[in-house]
Amino acid sequence: MKKLLFLFFALACAAAPTRAQGERAVAYTGATVINATGQTISDGVLVVRGGKIVAVGTRSSTRVPEGAQVVDVTGKVIMPGIVDTHSHIGGAAGADGSAPIQPDVRVLDAVNVRDTSLMRARAGGITTVNIMPGSGHLLSGQTVYIKLRRGSTIEDLAIRDAAGNLAGGIKMANGTNPLRANSTGPFPDTRAREASLVREQFVRAQDYREKVRRAGGDKSKLPARDLSMEALAEALDGKRVVHFHTHRHDDILTAVRLSKEFGFRVVLHHVTEGWKVADEIARAGVPASITIVDSPGGKLEAVDARLETAAVLDRAGVLLAIHTDDYITDSRLLLRSAALAVRAGLPREKAVYALTLAGARMLDLQDRTGSLEAGKDADFVVLSGDPFSVYTHVLETYVEGVKVFDRSDRQDRLYATGGYGAGYGQHLDFECYAEREGGSQR
Amino acid sequence: MNTLTFRRAAVALVVLLSAVSAHAQIAVRGETVHTMAGASIRDGVVLVRGGKIERVGPASSVKIPKEYRVITARVVTPGLVDAHTVVGLSGYLNQPHDQMQLERSSPMQPELRATDAYDARERLIEWLRTLGVTTIHTGHGPGALVSGQTLIAKTTGAEVEDAVIVPFAMVAATLGDSAIMEGGRAPGTNAKMVAMLRGELLKAQEYDRKWQAAKEDQKPARDLRMEAYARVLRREIPLLVTAHRSQNIVAALRLAKEFNIRVVLDGASESYLVVEQIKAAGVNVVVHPTMYRAAGEAENLSMETAATLRHAGVTVAIQSGFEPYVPKTRAVLFEAAVAAANGMTFDEALAAVTIDAARVLGVEARVGSIEAGKDADLALFDGDPFEYTTHVTTVLINGRVVSEEKR
């Protein structure tokens, strides 16, 4: 019996897709290829081998390697895998209620990679995700960048940097979410206090970093390890990008001000009133990753939400990404969010860019993913038609050359459309928006 | 001219102008006119006069009189009908002072009138209007066993009296987790909900029997709660039952049968599991928004449910529903669009937010299709209404242009 079991697992492992070098190339031919660069190739060819893109171009200009498996995708559309810079899939929470600033907390220690929300993200054509802790804190912890590979642990999915560390940023927030009315505890009750608490910690981190620098590698002179200071020092060194939840125009500029004071790299998230301060954001050279909801209301800070925000920021010259903030918008419908931005004036090629390469740039992953270019990871989506048409469906999603979603598969389709068991274990948790007072939650 | 005289003159002018526009004669010419009463018309004309649709037909046979203002569009549809929302009671700001859709001081309050809480100037109503929604069924929301009454209104007018077309449309009930009361109060379980509702309806049967039997000068004391239930028991209005789990859906059907009342199912996430029972009961369904968040009791919802029900022969309307947070409302235009991409045909999805929605609400004689004699409620588009990138260009309610925002 044991032998049988072993055999079963050995076979199961053998059947699992591998990405070994020298693997047979696969050529996807005949599709309209929409690239992040604004280029559209009709009757295109995409050649993939060993999880990487080998070539992409027109049929006449692109050599299909001998012996390659040819997949005819005539009539379909291929676009780069979507990069979601802001999501709460995986059911993870970060910081707890004990303090407003908790840089030591890593969301990667809590992500459930079997959560059905990950299946829905694959069904939406998403291949790369920044999983974030919530926004009820000034700093709710470290985020984790993942590829939506099929795997059983966060390590299987996580993206590693050159040194082998799991990649991620830092989640910060300002405005009303981190506020606690009549606070007598550690949480702030005003915006100015929010900023001062953050500055205090970054000043400490500057000192910590200076001590480490002075030690010059001499272990006896190093300060005692402080996990929070380490994470903030990484932000000061530019190794961790700060993903900053911010809605109101003044809060947006406070986030910019803090990043300039301490020199940390920042991506503004939500940026609901960004249309009011688009030029200021552009002048600061700070990117914006926005949430697009199709109707207004529901949160005082977001009452001035406009569908035009994407177009306004783009026109001002701001690097623009569009994210889900899943559960605020559904990972299966991120293409729709971008389409609504197009409805409100964003050029189509900018909308494609905002879903792909712009996000990759915000996560420092632009050399690996976000566009269809030789040498990059084979992260792509096969669509039934125009990416911005309501009638279009994501047919297949590939991460590093491996198919992770197939609409023709019964189980995969269940996650695309919903149905019995598709939402198992899902709890409504408005991570990034939940106000602690006021707003009715019922 | 002193200030007062000037003001009076200005007021008079405004009154005059609005009177003129109220009686405006408008010809809407559309490359495609989806009348929802027979086949759609290529190059169609809709003549509007006195707030009503005067005539509709192909441009070749409907002559546009000279004095009519002509508005053109790629596509014309009836004004959209949202079969269930809470706008007007649940406000844009989402602060305690503008959340009037739910009162949980006691579990069953059918006497709460929607007309006493509807804010016709609410910003969400204006938003829906610009998206072509011209009729809404709104009022007390899900979240209590019996939360109160609903009304049907046009998305125009400054006060409820100007807007409302049916002041008491349905009694709203909920079977499911959201109706559970905290702190040991009843109902604490789904079975208890049904027991309490049955108890109320039995009492109301008795009340109504006594009331009807009594001579004019010997009528028993009025009971507002019982009066509301009595209207349901006399089948004058339906009981709107929000239920997502299949067991709660069939419990609603059981109630309908036991008391011989009309039930309209609302939400109905798991209705695809009990389609045959719903069909056999002859019950209409106001299905959840297609893009509703799949969680909690609605975790098993499917974007294809509207199609599944419709193809089984059930009359289906699509709702915007209730949203607790961001965004504060949905728009049936968007929800129907996604239904059209998930199993429904274009016509079926459009019907679910026009004529079929009107049928479920019992107002199909007035709204929901473009036919002579009906209210002149129209939505104009610059392309396929369901495409993400198409805009609503003009909206008419009762023959008046109420929005020309390109949205």
Supply the ipTM of this predicted assembly: 0.93
Number of H helices, E strands in chain B: 11, 16
pLDDT for position A12: 41
pLDDT the model gives residue A219: 93
Where are any strands of DSSP class E within A229-314? Answer: 242-246, 266-270, 288-291
Give CA–CA dist B167/A52, Å, rounded: 63
Average confidence (pLDDT) over A228-243? 98
In a domain, A190, yes or no: yes
Residues of B with CB below 8 A from A421's CB?
300
Amino acid at A50: G
**CATH assignment of the domain containing A257:** 3.20.20.140
Number of domains forming the structure of chain A: 1
Is A10 or B8 the better-scoring residue by pLDDT?
B8
Q: d(Cα B311, Cα A34) in Å, to the nearest integer?
A: 36
Please tell me if residue A239 touches chain B, with a CB cutoff of 8 Å. no
Per-domain boundaries in chain B: 3-78+376-403, 80-361
Residue A17 confidence class, pLDDT cut points 50, 70, 90: very low
CB A57 within 8 A of CB A45: yes
A5: pLDDT strictly greater than 50:
no
Encode pLDDT of A307-355 as tens digits.
Answer: 999 999 999 999 999 999 999 999 999 999 999 999 999 999 999 999 9
A415 located within any domain? no
User: Which candidate from A293, A342, A425 shows the least CB-CB separation from B327?
Assistant: A293
Q: How far apart are CA A317 and CA A282, in angstroms?
A: 6
Q: Closest residue of B to A437, CA-based?
A: B95
A437 falls within a domain: no
Quick one: tokens of A101? Answer: 């600033």
User: CA angle A158-A161-A166, nearest 5°?
Assistant: 40
CATH topology of domain B3-78+376-403: Urease, subunit C; domain 1 (2.30.40)
- Residues 6+ away with beta carbon under 8 Å from A257: A195
Q: Give the list of residues 6+ apart from residue A423 with CB closer than 8 angstroms, or none.
A: A116, B294, B295, B298, B299, B300, B301
Quick check: B340 and A391 CB within 8 A?
yes
Any residues with CB less than 8 A from the CB of B389 and at least 6 apart, and which?
A: A339, A342, A343, A388, B383
What is the C-alpha to C-alpha distance for residues A401 and A410, in angstroms, rounded to an integer? 21
Contacts of A392 in chain B (CB under 8 A): 341
Domain-located, residue A378: no
Q: Contact, B35 vs B78, CB < 8 A? A: yes
Q: Quick check: A384 contacting B, CB < 8 Å?
A: no
Per-residue pLDDT at A183: 87
The per-residue pLDDT for B239 is 98
Per DSSP, helices labelled H in B288-367 are 305-311, 332-340, 346-351, 355-361
**Residue from the list B295, B325, B326 with its beta carbon closest to the beta carbon of A423:** B295
| Cα angle B282, B167, B90; round to 5 | 90
Distance of CA B215 to the CA centre of its chain: 38
Query: What is the CA A201 to chain-centroid distance, rounded?
Result: 26
Q: Is residue A247 part of a domain?
A: yes
Q: pLDDT > 70: what percent of chain A?
A: 91
Per-residue confidence (pLDDT) for residue A424, from 0 to 100: 77
Question: DSSP letters along A71-112, please?
Answer: EE-TT-EEEEPEEEEEE-TT------TT-SB-TT-BGGGT--
pLDDT per residue over A341-390, tens digit each? 999 999 999 999 999 999 999 999 999 999 999 999 999 999 999 999 99
As a whole-number percent, the residues of chain B with pLDDT over 90 amount to 94
In chain B, residues with a C-beta closer than 8 Å to the C-beta of A339 are: 388-389
User: Token pair of B199, please?
Assistant: 């108890």
Nearest chain B Cα distance for residue A305, angstroms: 10
Residue A435 lies in a domain: no
Domain limits at A161? Answer: 82-368
Q: Is the pLDDT of residue B77 over 80?
A: yes
Q: What's the pLDDT at A4?
A: 47
Lowest mean pLDDT among A2-16, A141-155, A220-234, A402-416: A2-16
Q: Searching chain A, which residue's CA lies closest to the CA of residue B100?
A: A440
Q: Rounded CA gap, A255 and B127, in Å?
A: 31
CA-nearest residue to B330 within chain A is A295
CA distances from A157 to A110, A135, A150, B254 (A): 13, 24, 7, 48
| pLDDT over 90 (residue B116) | yes
pLDDT of B63 higher than 50: yes
Q: What is the pLDDT of residue A283?
A: 98
- How confident is the model at residue B2, as a pLDDT? 52
| pLDDT score of B320 more than 70 | yes
Contact B90, B136 (CB under 8 A): no
Does the beta carbon of A436 lie under 8 angstroms from any beta carbon of chain B?
A: no
DSSP structural state of residue B268 = -
Closest CA to A309 of A340, A283, A355, A284: A340
A111 burial level (CB within 10 Å; 0-12, 13-18, 19+): buried
At A58-70, the pLDDT tens digits run 999 999 999 999 9
Superfamily (CATH H level) for B80-361: Metal-dependent hydrolases (3.20.20.140)
Residue in A336, A427, A433 nearest the CB of B388:
A336
Question: Mean pLDDT for chain A?
Answer: 92
| Angle CA A297–A301–A304, to nearest 5 | 55
* Closest CA relative to residue A371, chosen from A122, A168, A128: A128
